[in-house]
Amino acid sequence: MSAASLYVDRASPIHRLDPRSTLALVTAVFVAGYAFDDPRYAAVPLAAAFVALVAVGGWQNFKRLSPIVAALFLVGLVVWPAFTAPGGPTLVAVGPVVLSERELLFALARSERIAVFIVGGLLFVTTTANEEIVRGMRQVGVPYAFCFAVGTALRLFPTFLEAAGTVKQAQEARGLDLSDGGPIARLRRSVPLLIPVFMTAFRNVNTQSMALEARGFDTRRERTFYGARPLSAADWAVVVAAVGVVVGVVWLRLSGYGML
Amino acid sequence: MREILTMWRETRMVMLVAVVAAVYAAVLIPFQTFQIIPGITSIRPANVFPVIFGIMFGPAAAWGSAIGNLIGDVFGGTFGPGSAGGFVGNFFFGLVGYKLWGNLRPLSSGVEPDFREAAGRQAAEYVIIAVTASAACAAIIAWVVDLLGLVPFAVLGPLILTNNALAAVVLGPPLLYLTYPRLKELGLLYPDVLREEDLSEGNAGVSTTLAWVLVVAPLAWVGIGTALSADAGPELTSVAALGAVGMLVVLAATVLIGERLTGILSRT
């Protein structure tokens, strides 16, 4: 696995799941995170996803992304009070800034929702290798040609990422300064970086296509995957549990729980 | 429009999808020239790719941009329900270019997008396409993210529009000038790769009218959506309904507009 990937190679129970079961599990987390406007309820899927992420070895991934999570959480807290109706006692009244209890709770719940989505997504990519993602897509019925394109792109991506980094270093060594000036000046200076990266990439498209066709590549024929297997009892248990969580969460919401 | 699906029969188009996706994702992550909100959005040179690839590679660029953005989410750690909006938004970011090039009469230059002849008119045509594609992408992503209750439309829509359009407008003309002839020589332009029967020019008058509808609709969607979102309560139903209408209009226009690059190439 490339250094750019967030996949962590462990033997945790979630790692051993079929990618379809992991997706069902993460979808249940997403639905639970989406369902509630009350931050006390929204905190439950966030805590569950975070504990699961740490348990499967995703702490380093979380640490790497923590500035983004913190920034998005903060933006949610700042932005959402302006987009919801006030209610309850006034908590802050400093000049033009007036913040009611309802506005604060609503914003907190939305920020938690953002965090649930990021941590849930991180749980999926931490426990599911790229090859498994592609295999899972095929097994849920995504057309083979599309899966092949995704799989090939995932394999080419680290190579191009490395090439992009090398070109950047080479141009900077020649005196290219990307950190000076306004946004338009900086954008203009990126032209010498972009051309070598994508011309190198496209130069080989014809030969790669010929190589594929020489090996009998045909997008319309059914293909098999080496790691493809039916869902095990554990996979089915996770799917059933995920469906149960979704049903439970929807029932709670329809019964009036978790609302402001 | 059927080339969007039939292109998957062509090995070279499938490879183009993969390479567009990989290049887009590879440049998207390391090159962030100007942070607008640290950790959230920045001006990225890679945002020029869906537009110029769209003009040159047609439907392969649409699928490639969508997949590339998804890969960026998977490797960047932001994979989640919002990635669905990113997928569809970037699909249209790459789709608009080849649908509009040559269809914006009387403004269209009627020549290949290489900025070697009628450069002024090509630049005007390109700027309209870049802004339209950016607006379509911005409106779709902001709509989905708003529906998910993550960030209000009024915050994200204008931000993505500015972010995408700036990179596409500034970088597009020099990149097309430098790379279009080489990619044409390699035989990678979509009219050279797709089968003749899969490409449809459609009715010129209808295509022109719908092309201008496609120019106006996403910009109106961003503008009206921003105004509605800024005044909306927590349910934001009006933004949701506007988005449904906007999505239908953009989809219908792109389906019905015929492409023009094949005709332009056959005249040269």
Please give the ipTM for the structure prediction: 0.90
Mean pLDDT of all residues in A149-161: 91
Across the interface, which of A125, A184, A197 has its CB nearest the CB of B27? A197
CA atoms within 13 A on the CB side of A154: 22
Calculate how close chain A gets to B9, using CA atoms only, in Å.
Answer: 6
- Is B22 in contact with A178 (Cβ distance < 8 A)? no
pLDDT at residue A7 in the model: 93
Do residue A199 and residue B179 have CB atoms under 8 angstroms apart?
Answer: yes
Q: Report the pLDDT value the prediction gives residue B35, as an integer from 0 to 100.
A: 55
Q: Is A208 on the interface with B (CB under 8 A)?
A: yes
Residue with tokens 């006390």: A40
| Nearest of B46, B108, B47 to residue B259 by alpha carbon | B108
Scanning every residue of chain B, which has its alpha carbon at the shortest distance from the alpha carbon of A157? Answer: B22
Residues of B in contact with A217 (CB under 8 A): 11
- Tell me: pLDDT of A239 over 70: yes
Which chain B residues are Cβ-neighbours of A203 within 8 angstroms? 186
Question: From the CA of B221, how many Å to the nearest CA of chain A?
Answer: 19
**Average pLDDT per block of 10 residues along chain B, 268 residues long:** 89 95 87 56 85 96 95 87 94 95 93 92 96 97 93 92 93 95 94 90 89 97 92 69 95 93 88
CB < 8 Å from B in window 135-154 of A: 143, 145-146, 148-150, 152-154
Q: What is the pLDDT of residue B24?
A: 93
Cα B155-A124-A117 angle, rounded to 5 deg? 25
Distance from CA of A232 to the nearest CA of B (A): 25
A4 contacts in B (CB within 8 Å)?
29, 75
Which residue, A63, A78, A157, A62, is CA-closest to A110?
A78
Rounded Cα gap, residues A95 and A123, in angstroms: 42
pLDDT beyond 50 at A2: no
Give B209→chain A minimum CA distance, Å: 33
Which residues on A lie below 8 Å from B71 (Cβ)? 150, 153-154, 157
| B22:A121 CB<8 A | no
Yes or no, beta carbons of A124 and B152 under 8 Å apart: no
Confidence (pLDDT) at B74: 87
**pLDDT band with cut points at 50, 70 and 90 for residue A203:** confident
The secondary structure of residue B34, as a DSSP letter, is E
Residues 3-42 of A with CB under 8 A from B: 4-6, 30, 34, 37
Question: Model pTM?
Answer: 0.92
Query: Do A164 and B64 lie within an 8 Å CB cutoff?
Result: no
pLDDT at B232: 60
Residue A92 is given by DSSP the state: E
Alpha-carbon distance A241 to nearest alpha carbon in chain B (angstroms): 20
Q: Using a CB–CB cutoff of 8 Å, tell me whether A114 touches chain B.
A: yes
> What pLDDT does B142 receive?
94
The partner residue sitting opposite B11, judged by closest CB among A72, A106, A209, is A209
| pLDDT, averaged across chain A | 90
Average pLDDT, integer, range A115-144:
93
Residue of A nearest to B155 (CA): A79
Q: What is the pLDDT of residues A34-88, one digit of tens each?
A: 999 999 999 999 999 999 999 999 999 999 989 888 988 998 999 999 888 888 8
Test B39 with A114 for CB contact under 8 angstroms. Answer: no
Interface residue A108 vs chain B (CB under 8 A): no
| Number of residues written out for chain A | 260
More confident residue, A85 or A251: A251
Is residue A133 a contact partner of residue B74, using CB atoms and an 8 Å limit?
yes
Which of B45-48's residues contact partners 24+ apart within 8 Å by CB, and which partners? B45/A187, B45/A190, B45/A193, B45/A194, B45/B167, B45/B171, B46/B167, B47/B134, B47/B163, B47/B164, B47/B166, B47/B167, B47/B168, B48/A194, B48/B167, B48/B168, B48/B170, B48/B171, B48/B172, B48/B175
Pairwise CB contact (< 8 Å): A206 & B187 = yes
* B235 CA: distance to closest CA in chain A (Å): 8
- Write down the H helix ranges in chain A: 19-35, 39-55, 59-79, 101-127, 130-139, 144-173, 183-189, 191-203, 205-214, 233-254
pLDDT at A1: 42
| Separation of alpha carbons A171 and A62, rounded Å | 32
Q: Is the pLDDT of residue A224 over 70?
A: yes
Residues 68-107 of A with CB under 8 A from B: 68, 70-72, 75-76, 79-80, 83-85, 106
CB nearest B150 (choices: A65, A113, A154)? A113
Task: Name the CA radius of gyration of chain A, rounded.
Answer: 23
Instruction: Enter the DSSP assignment of B85.
Output: H
